[in-house]
Chain A
Amino acid sequence: MRYLAGRLGHLLAVLFAVTIVTFLLVNVLPGDIAYDIAGLDASEAEVQAIRLDLGLDRPAPVRYVEWLGGVLSGDWGQSYQTGEPVIEAIMSRFPVSLELVIIAQIMALLLALPLGIISALRANSRFDRIVTTGGFFCLAVPNFMMAIILIYVFGLWLNWLPVTGYEPLSEGLWVNLRNFILPSLSFALAEWTLLARVLRSDMIGVLQEDYISMARAKGMPVRRILWVHAMRPASFSLITLLGLQVGALIGGSIIIESIFALPGVGRLLIGSIFARDFLVIQGCVTFIAVAYVVINFSVDICYALLDPRVRTAKSHG
């Protein structure tokens, strides 16, 4: 528990630092935001009014403290493009991004679990080598390139799946899901190799433990040994990696959401970057960073739950 408390303190410090860096990044944007908002034919007085309205006339530290206070109390400001409150804009798009990330992770796991385990069981066999080599090839395809290939093959050539767009879940499960298949696959087809690689090497180590030989000597079926005895100790690095990958997926979702026209947080963010909608940028980056940090913290908790050694060992060190 002391270990987790220490981690929590560290994570809060990281979050605080993130808000400062984000604020700094956004507030060195060149050009006067007030002019952008007012439009080309606005008079000087109108620009001045907007500036006062947004509080841009005051020094940056004051604005930072005010913004941070707002963030903590749930008031993230308003988008100057649409007038929509930032927190609502993010929250209405968040489910789309979340669904994308979850489906991508499930797909990657579905590929990685069988391939990684069989590779570990038959280490250095032909199957193992084919998986390893195939992994190298998949890993060399960036997600935007994978997206283009998938659009070409499944959308334009075979005409199986829609290439862009989004339908809410209320339109039906399949109608909703089919729009997520290609975007999620764009991630999963590269990510599985990382997961399978980690799982394979951990699993090889675990399979050499005495208690596995013992279970085998007792005549326990291989499948039961794998799922009951070997999976838990072999899954630690896998879980860490899954957590870390969420960060990578959130970053990548910016590009994938724009390619497939999915209305998620990533697309909101890139739109606001081009439009210099600074409060939305600040809000999105903060939101993403919080999500990343929270996920990694939960991974740490999972770790402690799965492996009692972490609870005792790390709390002393």
Chain B
Amino acid sequence: MASATTHNKFDPVTSQEQDNQAAREAARRRARRGVFFWGPTAWLGFIVFCAVFADILPLQSSDEMDFTALSATPWEAEGHLLGTDLQGRDVLSRILYGARVSLTVGVVATAIGMTFGLMIGLIAGYYRGWIETAITLGLDTLLALPGLVVLLLASVIFGGSLTVVSVSLGFLLIPAFARVSRANTLNFAQREFVVAAKAMGATDLRIIVLEILPNVVLPVAAYALVVVAFAIVIEGALSFLGLSVPSPTPSWGGMIAEGRESLGDTPHISFVPATVMFLTVLSFNLVGDDLRGRLADLRESAL
């Protein structure tokens, strides 16, 4: 099986060169952004545009019931491009208003998680000692709690609203970001420029913010888009259970759940919002992965 061997370690020089070559090739492949980058980017641009301008786009109302066209399929009903749901509400319009919920929760929760995760990770990685132990303990506790349950409890306690969902989800995203930023801080905290800054008498705060943060923020931010996708999925699960934004406001998960009742007869009520959600999550993942790979290349070439 010659095809199985890509490297021959008995010859360190060539294998080193091959390694470099493979890395360069991978980088070049990433540099040629293909359909798997531009397609998702275009889709995200489209969804964001529609969500922002949903009010001024020529859409049907999202909660007006059209009794002449109940659960109409996309090709049946006139004036309803993607059909109507069980109560005769326009699916297209509900999807676009639902996009507002999903995107807001995705972006706000990620921003909250990243901000606090960075702060906590920087502190843990810079000060070490008992502070680090305490922080690790807290993060592990947060990870051991079933995340969805905490969100469910939060929305039962405080009532489901955009703010509650975004904040509690952001809170649950803190450990992931904190771990990455702590690991990166550990790398930089011992470097010469930090030691030099210390020798010149810089305060801890100044070192953390001006010396370490700029180095840590990029590798952490590289995960942002992927986390947005994750947050959208969790919001979908919550609204699927009916515990995200309250009922008249459309949300993707809620729409999928509503269509479940007549899945056999009118599958489009579930599957149209499901497809939109799938494409959006997929796009965030693809673009996010591309960005992460690029940032890794950038760091490697800088070293």
Contacts and interface: CB of A to CB of B under 8 A. Distances in A.
A binds B: yes
Given A145-B278, A156-B264, A255 B149 contact: no
Nearest to A244: B143
A285 interface: yes
Contacts of A142: 233, 236-237, 277, 281
Contacts of A250: 146
B114 interface: no
Interface of B: 1, 3-10, 15, 36, 137-138, 140-141, 143-150, 152-154, 156-157, 229, 233, 236-237, 240-241, 253, 256, 260, 263-264, 267, 270-271, 274, 277-279, 281-282, 285-286, 289
Given A210-B10, A293-B144, A140 B285 contact: yes
A136 B149 contact: no
B286 A269 contact: no
Contacts of A22: 145
A200 to B, nearest CB: 13
Given A141-B278, A145-B274, A247 B267 contact: no
Interface string A266-295: 000110011010000100110011001100
Nearest to A22: B145
A251 to B, nearest CB: 4
| Interface SS, A side | helix
B150 to A, nearest CB: 7
Nearest to A226: B4
B286 A285 contact: no
Contacts of B8: 213
A237 to B, nearest CB: 16
Nearest to A157: B264
Contacts of B229: 140
Contact of B157 (A17, A28, A156): A28
With most chain B CB atoms within 10 A of its CB, the pick from A122, A136, A144, A216 is A144
A172 interface: no
Nearest to A14: B140
Contacts of B270: 148, 152
Contact of B144 (A14, A143, A152): A14
B211 to A, nearest CB: 26
A30 interface: yes
A138 to B, nearest CB: 10
A255 B137 contact: no
Contacts of A269: 149
